[in-house]
Amino acid sequence: MTGPAIEVVHVGSACRDVAPEDPRGWRIGGGVMYAALTTARLGLRTAAVVGVDDDAAGATELRMLRDAGVEVLQVPLAEGPIYHNVESATGRVQTCVQVGVPLPIPTLPRAWLAAPGWSVVPVAGEIRDDWAAVVPPDAHVAVAWQGFLRDLRPGERVRQRVPRASPILARADLVGVSRHDVAPDVPLRSMWSLLSPGADLLITQGAEGGLLVRLGADGPTDLLRYRTPPSDREIDPTGAGDTFLAALHASGWRAAADPGPGGAQRRAAIRDALDLRFAAAAGSLVVEDWGLSGVPDLTAVTARLARDAAPDAVAPIPPEEIRRYWPEEPAPA
């Protein structure tokens, strides 16, 4: 007897973040962990392909995913990524302890290959271009871009990598990136030009909120500014962007009316239903505890929405104001 069909598949490697307060000396992180736990706790039938090295393979965090209902396929890695993150008043200082190796493509369950939602969430550039061919052609695809934008050398501070075109980006319907993971001199238009018409580019800026850039055939058709509701406390900002992106992806699934079997119709319905307020509420909650323990469930997100509802939480902005949010962007002609 088969179970309910998987709705979303997440792909990426788990990383280990140095954590002196943890008895192991580290905690498991990585976008795939946050994204999978988020969509599962928000009610989506979730699967995850997770690359793990020997030390991470038996981690309690993987049991957290399974306890939440995530179907997990662990892919053994000879070496997994390790980071040392130090938070300061001016932002995060991130050092690469160990780079890790590319995530190989395993044999996937047939049911997963039919999943209508996919999420590509690298933490150290481990997902190579050949993964693009694995994603079903009709799936709605979310990509966490920051995991592709890290120049990693063991023992050195993580540096920003110039965004480049890739088959995975070309396939994406929804792309998320933190403003802090992109070099200050990179124009916004050079980023959206790497995406396909009809894609949405989410730019998160922590407690300051962020932008959603909706793309058409000739560039942006809409620019939406969103505000983040205040957190009760900030304990650990790790994973906030990945949680936000996963919650935004999930909001489309939760609200979209059944568009029938057509992939293009389904993808359009999901896009129309994306809810920035819902995602911002999830992002404000995850920082209130250490690591994956902060990932909220649907009840918590709904309560935060009710507590901090504001009519101007999401608002369109005219093109001439884009430089307020992305200073290097040239003024419109």
Q: pLDDT 10s per residue in the chain (333 long)?
A: 456 689 999 999 999 999 998 999 999 999 999 999 999 999 999 999 999 999 999 999 999 999 999 999 999 999 999 999 887 777 789 999 999 999 999 999 999 999 989 999 999 999 999 999 999 998 999 999 999 999 999 999 999 999 999 999 999 999 999 988 998 889 998 999 999 999 999 999 888 888 999 999 888 999 999 999 999 999 989 899 999 999 999 988 766 545 445 567 767 777 777 899 999 999 999 999 999 999 999 999 999 999 987 778 898 988 777 777 776 665 555
Residue 260: how many other CB atoms lie within 10 Å: 9
Q: Which residues contact 54 (CB under 8 A, 6 or more apart)?
A: 76
| 136-138-142 Cα angle (round to 5) | 75
The answer to whether the pTM exceeds 0.85 is: yes
Query: How many C-beta atoms lie closer than 10 Å to residue 313's C-beta?
Result: 18
Instruction: Give the span between the Cα atoms of 270 and 266, in whole angstroms.
Output: 6
Task: Give the whole-angstrom CA distance, residue 74 versus residue 51.
Answer: 6
Q: Which domains does the chain have, with CATH numbers?
A: 8-325 (3.40.1190.20)
| List of residues 6+ apart from 288 with CB closer than 8 A | 231, 232, 233, 234, 235, 294
